[in-house]
Amino acid sequence: MPQLNQLAIVANSQFFWLLLVLGVIYFGIGKGMLPKIQSTVDLRARKIEEDLAAAEAARTAADETEAAYRARMDASRAEAGKLTGKAKDDSARATEKKLAEADAAGGSKLAEAEARIAKARSTAIKEIEAAGADLARDITKKVAGIEVTKDNAASAVKAVMANA
């Protein structure tokens, strides 16, 4: 079969062209394109390193700014605490003074009210004793038919009220 006889000749020719194409590809890509790609990768790596260094510097600056901010906030809180404490003390003193004045005014008003109550109570007791004495005289006159003097009736009512 002649087709099989030609197979060795055709295969050698195809191997030659395959090796030639692979060599062109190797030298074309490996020697021509690969250095350009490698330089792009190196440039990108340098850019990333620079960005990381800039980010680290920015983070350090941010940490320093935050520390300064926290120090200012702590100082402000301490100052606010002092001012608040002073305001509380001033307010407490003013309140104590007002309470003392109100207590004194209330005490004098209370004493006056107690005196008026005591006077009204004693007046009411005297009126009750007088009414009780008149009532006792009328009852003894109507029930027993005995006439009792005002002084006797008043002393009897006082005695009964003293025991009550």
Give me the pLDDT at residue 1, please.
58
Where is mean pLDDT largest: 3-17, 32-46, 64-78, 136-150? Answer: 64-78
Contact assessment for residue 131 and residue 150, using Cβ atoms and an 8 Å cutoff: no
Over the range 87-117, which residues count as b (16 or more CB within 10 Å of their CB) and which as e?
A: eeeeeeeeeeeeeeeeeeeeeeeeeeeeeee
Q: Which long-range contacts link 151-157 to residues 24+ away (Cβ below 8 Å)?
A: 154/129, 154/130, 157/129, 157/132, 157/133
Give me the pLDDT at residue 68, please.
96
Give me the pLDDT at residue 2, please.
64
In the chain, the percentage of residues whose pLDDT exceeds 70 is 97
Count the helices and strands in the chain (H runs, E runs).
4, 0
User: With 90 as the cut, is the pLDDT of residue 75 above it?
Assistant: yes
Give me the pLDDT at residue 45, please.
97
Give me the pLDDT at residue 161, please.
81
Q: Say how many residues make up the chain.
A: 164
Exposed/middle/buried for residue 157 (C-beta within 10 Å: 0-12, 13-18, 19+) = buried
Band of pLDDT at residue 3, cut at 50, 70 and 90: low
Give me the pLDDT at residue 35, please.
86
Exposed/middle/buried for residue 134 (C-beta within 10 Å: 0-12, 13-18, 19+) = middle
